[in-house]
């Protein structure tokens, strides 16, 4: 999936096959509990953002693409700053 998604994004050729793969993997991973270890929050956030962009560019369904970006944006909220 990573190679396919990156290649489709680079070519600007979204694919219904990518749509199906993303939907299947999303269903399989739907019960995951995501929690970064202390100190790993930054790399987890970066990986999520890069992955979201890669997947959003690979799928052919515009609503799915927007949904991928919106879901990751909503999940990555800045930590409150202590003054």
Digit-coded pLDDT (tens) for 50-75: 999 999 999 999 999 999 999 999 99
pTM for the complete prediction? 0.81
**CA-based torsion, 11, 13, 19, 21: positive or negative:** negative
Cα separation, 78 vs 72, in Å, equals 12
**Coil vs helix vs strand at 74:** helix
Specify the long-range contacts of residues 19-24, CB closer than 8 Å, at least 24 apart.
Answer: 19/59, 19/60, 19/61, 19/64, 22/55, 22/58, 22/59, 22/64, 22/68, 23/64
Q: Do residues 22 and 68 make contact, with C-beta atoms less than 8 angstroms apart?
A: yes
pLDDT digits (tens, 9 = 90+) for 10-51: 888 888 988 998 999 999 988 888 888 889 999 999 999 999
């Amino acid at each position: 999936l990573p190679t396919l998604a990156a290649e489709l994004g680079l070519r600007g050729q979204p694919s219904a096959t990518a749509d199906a793969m993303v939907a299947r993997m999303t269903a399989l991973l739907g019960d995951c509990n995501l929690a970064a270890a202390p100190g790993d929050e930054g790399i987890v956030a970066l990986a999520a953002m890069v992955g979201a962009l890669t997947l959003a560019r690979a799928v052919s369904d515009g609503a799915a693409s927007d949904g991928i970006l919106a879901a990751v944006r909503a999940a990555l909220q800045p930590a409150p700053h202590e003054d």
